[in-house]
Chain A
Amino acid sequence: MAFFLAQFLTGLANAAALFLVASGLSLIFGVTRIVNFAHGSFYMLGAFIGITLMDILPGHVGFWGAILLTGLAVGVIGALTEMIVLRPIYRAPELFQLVATFGVILVIQDLALMIWGAEDKLGPRAPGLRGVWRIFGEPVPKYDIVLIAITPFILFALWYLITKTRLGILVRAATQDREMVGALGVNQAWLFTGVFALGSALAGLGGALQLPKGGADLLMDFNIIGEVFVVVVIGGMGSLPGAFIAAVLISVLNVFGVTYLPQSTLVLMYVVMAIVLIIRPWGILGREEAAGEHGQVGSPERPIRPYGPKGIALTSAFVLALALVPLFAEQFVLTLIVDMIVFALFAASLHFILGTGGLVSFGHAAFFGGGAYAAALLVFHTGTPMELAFLFAPLAAGLLALAIGWFCIRLSGVYFAMLTLAFSQLVWSLAFQWRDVTRGDDGLVNIWPAEWLNAPAPFYYFTLILGTGGIIFLRHVIHSPFGYALRAGRDSPRQAEAMGIDVKRVQYAAFCLAGIMAGLAGGIFVFSKGSVFPTVLEIGESFDALIVVFLGGVKTLAGGVVGAGFMTGVEDWLTRLEYWRLLLGLVIISVVILMPEGIVGTLSTLWRKIRHTDEETIR
């Protein structure tokens, strides 16, 4: 019993930092509608800056003073980030900003590496709170008790700020109706900057506050971001008490998970999130997000048209050029192009549900990796011939999409995104921890193509045919009645339902089709590499696809494919350099700022301007 209590207290103590970080993210999302992936990076910065400041400032005052100063410093960094990176792109399509914040993650990672080095840093102990107190005989660190004691005050302070002060009123008003707040004479730009600074400061505080328990390292940003999103979503987007309850729930569960069910630790919180979202689709204390509540941002999408003769000729020429590559190119070029095509198909499948369907999935890697693993498992365990195992990849991914979609499709917006993320994490942990079958992070190796394909050129053609075939098929579907129905459900679900379209069923079918195509890409991938590891199922893989779709242009048809080609090329070139993350981050941020409609979108707008054609000439 005493042990139980001690465990519970540890969980509560862990919740303090988590709640701080999560409430910051929740505030930022509520007001600016930005899904800020870089929030974990501000937390990491908080930890590193905290250590540096604590070294300089001695004693009690120094320790607590350093924590407060850290909050201030990270708040300033957050404000600068908002002004430089995000302010230029508020008019871009919804969720476009998350790509920019992803660039910020990469930049901060390398900057932290430059400044503080690659080694993990141990956090200093809090002066006067080094030992333990015994509670019913069980040792509980003094610092934990102090954290538990201050958390309610933090909650109260934030609650007071939001409900009782003028700033709080503005923030809540902006959460409900940004335009109205602007019309009432509030300077939106500064309100956004202020909120972003406050949110970042909270993340920084969280990072500094957890130092005596955890220290600082370069993986902190990614390690916490998943947890933070889970907390915000479980609590309900924009609800502080919700975030608090969820932070406690997740932290306590994690502590008990480590003790009683160690193999569950990787997925426990995602399982909890999935259950909460299935029962309460808007989190514990969240409210329903009405469709289209936040309005269309940016210019409306232009009506789509299949390529005319010129477009078909150009595309055919391009594919033909690709077909000629093996005649003169070296093997590494072929490998690079295979990677590009695989990634382009994967991105196109995500683009299909994201662009055409308006369904933002944060867990699309589940189908790519799922397909790869399905084929690899068959080959590895049963020695199934490649031809058959390969077919199994899209099939298994489709079945997986059928199962996952059944739960996810009833949600919408960010909640849909988070539930897909939760399920993809489940699949990932299965691959990671079910060692008997998947061999964990040793991966499945020796998954080579059949004899007749097992050479660079034949496999290249195999990829070219299936990859371009898949992409063309998806494009064809977009132009078909089914694709139109999918777009109708995105543009106006109410109108679509009122003309006999079962919007959810259309979306479900599209989700499954996207899963199948991602699985196809995964199938090609596994046989091109000869192996598969759990990394193909990681969050990072899903986000890569998301980023290239946005970079290419969500509101264009070629966006996903072009973005994937661009990204694979740039990455291949940059990763040879030492601080490639910094450069890649800067490239992403520049593209985002210079081309707010994505590469394809901005180029075609430019093209129309040059030719002086406007909306009237569609056909």
Chain B
Amino acid sequence: MTEILRVENLKKSYDGFVAVGGVSFSVKQGELKALIGPNGAGKSTCFNMLMGQLKPTEGRVFFDGKDITGHKPRDIWRKGVGRTFQITGTYQSMTVIENVQMALMSHHRRIFTIGPRAWKLYRDEAMDLLGVVAMQDQADRPCSVLAYGDLKRLELAIALCHKPRLLLMDEPTAGMAPSARIELMQLTADIVRDQGVSVLFTEHDMDVVFAHSHHIMVLNRGELIADGNATEVRNNPQVQEVYLGGGTLFKEETHA
């Protein structure tokens, strides 16, 4: 399998405080890879650097062999990277399907078009995408009345609009009911299988992580301490200490 994302020595520090300290890894084509770690481990910082919301202090990010370090989020998106956020950011004043159509309009570079009616554009295409996440029956509801789990699914549909080759999902199941979590990740796994998309996601629910991911990386206090398949990660003593118990790792941080 070819490498779709390669991260080299990625580092972010704020006035001496190191949030992410020199992380290197890669994601392969068609892979569903999890990035886990306790709160404050640097997962979101890492994601924000990959997607361009944050500029890394050091290090490089390569997407499909091309250097995208420090590029703007919208440019990275155009290159074929999709993203969903930890806290959903949908357009409250639009309907469900219009949210998807908006992404399609951007993908087809129609942002500065003033001729046609927006809600007529790419409606079929948008309906197909809503079908993928089983949201077709809610297509014409205002986005502002959706249940949280449905918003998460909508966000996934939006992220698939430009047929991304890599999808970055920051805590996709946070705040959802346990059954809905499994459903959403199953859906994601199906998409990976059917469309050959690679997915990198962060997650706190270990059931979700171990049930679906091909590979797992563990981040602790800005350092990558494990990178392997489920069994390898499970048996890694350092990971066990972080998650199950020496307890010492967090004691030093209580003053912060």
Measured CB to CB, the nearest residue on chain B to A495 is B89
Complex-state Cα separation, A480 to B101, whole angstroms = 12
Contacting residue for A483 out of B74, B78, B103, B118, CB 8 A? B118
Complex-state Cα separation, A500 to B51, whole angstroms = 12
State whether A497 touches B118 (Cβ < 8 A).
no
State whether A619 touches B140 (Cβ < 8 A).
yes
* Given contacts A481-B110, A615-B145, A487 and B105 within 8 Å (CB-CB): no
A482 contact set on B, CB distance < 8 A: 111-114
State whether B142 touches A484 (Cβ < 8 A).
no
Complex-state Cα separation, A581 to B103, whole angstroms = 49
Cβ of B83 within 8 Å of any chain A Cβ, yes or no, is: yes
Complex-state Cα separation, A618 to B51, whole angstroms = 35
Contacting residue for B73 out of A305, A306, A498, CB 8 A? A498
* Given contacts A481-B118, A482-B112, A491 and B94 within 8 Å (CB-CB): yes
Cβ of B92 within 8 Å of any chain A Cβ, yes or no, is: yes
Cβ of A378 within 8 Å of any chain B Cβ, yes or no, is: no
Would you list which residues of chain A between 298 and 341 have a CB under 8 Å from chain B?
300-306
B93 contact set on A, CB distance < 8 A: 300-304, 487, 490-491
A483 contact set on B, CB distance < 8 A: 114, 118
Contacting residue for B74 out of A300, A492, A501, A509, CB 8 A? A501
State whether A498 touches B118 (Cβ < 8 A).
no
Cβ of B66 within 8 Å of any chain A Cβ, yes or no, is: no
State whether A498 touches B51 (Cβ < 8 A).
yes
Measured CB to CB, the nearest residue on chain B to A616 is B141
* Given contacts A487-B94, A492-B91, A498 and B142 within 8 Å (CB-CB): no
* Given contacts A481-B105, A482-B111, A303 and B85 within 8 Å (CB-CB): no
Cβ of B255 within 8 Å of any chain A Cβ, yes or no, is: no
- Shortest CB distance A513–B (Å): 9
Contacting residue for B102 out of A300, A301, A302, A499, CB 8 A? A499
- Shortest CB distance B154–A (Å): 11
Complex-state Cα separation, A494 to B170, whole angstroms = 14
- Shortest CB distance A499–B (Å): 5
- Shortest CB distance A484–B (Å): 4
A615 contact set on B, CB distance < 8 A: 141-142, 145
- Shortest CB distance A288–B (Å): 15
Measured CB to CB, the nearest residue on chain A to B92 is A300
Cβ of B5 within 8 Å of any chain A Cβ, yes or no, is: no
A306 contact set on B, CB distance < 8 A: 117
- Shortest CB distance A173–B (Å): 22
Complex-state Cα separation, A427 to B237, whole angstroms = 70
Cβ of A477 within 8 Å of any chain B Cβ, yes or no, is: yes
Complex-state Cα separation, A301 to B94, whole angstroms = 8
Complex-state Cα separation, A509 to B105, whole angstroms = 17
State whether A481 touches B92 (Cβ < 8 A).
no
B111 contact set on A, CB distance < 8 A: 481-482, 485, 500-502, 506
Complex-state Cα separation, A509 to B118, whole angstroms = 18
Contact string against A for B residues 68-97, beta-carbon threshold 8 Å, 1 for contact and 0 otherwise:
000011100110000101000111111100
B236 contact set on A, CB distance < 8 A: none
State whether B74 touches A498 (Cβ < 8 A).
yes
Cβ of A272 within 8 Å of any chain B Cβ, yes or no, is: no
Cβ of A259 within 8 Å of any chain B Cβ, yes or no, is: no
Cβ of A488 within 8 Å of any chain B Cβ, yes or no, is: yes
Complex-state Cα separation, A484 to B162, whole angstroms = 18
State whether A485 touches B142 (Cβ < 8 A).
no
State whether B161 touches A499 (Cβ < 8 A).
yes
Interface size class of A (residues with CB under 8 A): 35 or more
* Given contacts A484-B105, A488-B91, A499-B161, A479 and B118 within 8 Å (CB-CB): yes
Cβ of A134 within 8 Å of any chain B Cβ, yes or no, is: no
B89 contact set on A, CB distance < 8 A: 492, 494-495, 498
State whether A494 touches B85 (Cβ < 8 A).
yes
Would you list which residues of chain A between 594 and 619 have a CB under 8 Å from chain B?
615-616, 618-619
Question: Which one of A494, A495, A502 has the highest number of Cβ atoms from chain B below 10 Å of its Cβ?
Answer: A495
Measured CB to CB, the nearest residue on chain A to B143 is A303
Would you list which residues of chain B between 222 and 236 have a CB under 8 Å from chain A?
none
Complex-state Cα separation, A484 to B141, whole angstroms = 17
Complex-state Cα separation, A495 to B145, whole angstroms = 18
Complex-state Cα separation, A619 to B105, whole angstroms = 21
B191 contact set on A, CB distance < 8 A: none
State whether A500 touches B121 (Cβ < 8 A).
no
Complex-state Cα separation, A477 to B118, whole angstroms = 10
State whether A500 touches B110 (Cβ < 8 A).
no
Cβ of A476 within 8 Å of any chain B Cβ, yes or no, is: yes
- Shortest CB distance B146–A (Å): 11
* Given contacts A303-B95, A500-B106, A616-B141, A479 and B119 within 8 Å (CB-CB): yes
A477 contact set on B, CB distance < 8 A: 114
Would you list which residues of chain A between 448 and 479 have a CB under 8 Å from chain B?
476-477, 479
Contact string against A for B residues 111-148, beta-carbon threshold 8 Å, 1 for contact and 0 otherwise:
11111111101000000000000000000111111000
Cβ of B199 within 8 Å of any chain A Cβ, yes or no, is: no
Complex-state Cα separation, A461 to B95, whole angstroms = 39
Cβ of A296 within 8 Å of any chain B Cβ, yes or no, is: yes
Contacting residue for A491 out of B77, B83, B91, B95, CB 8 A? B91
Complex-state Cα separation, A296 to B161, whole angstroms = 27
Measured CB to CB, the nearest residue on chain B to A480 is B114
Would you list which residues of chain B between 150 and 169 have a CB under 8 Å from chain A?
158, 161-162
Complex-state Cα separation, A300 to B105, whole angstroms = 23
- Shortest CB distance A315–B (Å): 16
Cβ of B193 within 8 Å of any chain A Cβ, yes or no, is: no
Measured CB to CB, the nearest residue on chain B to A306 is B117
A484 contact set on B, CB distance < 8 A: 94, 98, 101-102, 105, 118
A300 contact set on B, CB distance < 8 A: 92-93, 142, 144
Complex-state Cα separation, A502 to B121, whole angstroms = 20
- Shortest CB distance B184–A (Å): 19
Complex-state Cα separation, A493 to B41, whole angstroms = 27
Contacting residue for A498 out of B83, B98, B114, CB 8 A? B83
Contacting residue for A302 out of B110, B115, B140, B142, CB 8 A? B142
- Shortest CB distance B248–A (Å): 33
A304 contact set on B, CB distance < 8 A: 93
Provide a sorted-by-A list of 24 A–B residue pairs whose CB atoms are within 8 angstroms. A300-B144, A301-B92, A302-B142, A303-B95, A305-B119, A476-B114, A477-B114, A479-B117, A481-B112, A483-B114, A484-B101, A484-B105, A487-B94, A491-B93, A495-B85, A495-B90, A498-B83, A498-B89, A499-B74, A499-B106, A499-B107, A499-B162, A500-B77, A615-B142
Known A302-B93, A485-B105, A499-B74; further 9 A-B contacts with Cβ < 8 A: A476-B114, A490-B93, A491-B91, A492-B91, A499-B106, A500-B78, A500-B107, A616-B141, A618-B142
Report, nearest first, the 8 A-B pairs whose CB atoms are least far apart.
A495-B89, A300-B144, A301-B93, A492-B89, A491-B91, A484-B118, A480-B114, A500-B106
B residues contacting A by CB (< 8 A) are: 51, 53, 72-74, 77-78, 83, 85, 89-95, 98, 101-103, 105-107, 110-119, 121, 140-145, 158, 161-162
A residues contacting B by CB (< 8 A) are: 296, 300-306, 476-477, 479-485, 487-488, 490-492, 494-495, 497-502, 506, 509, 615-616, 618-619
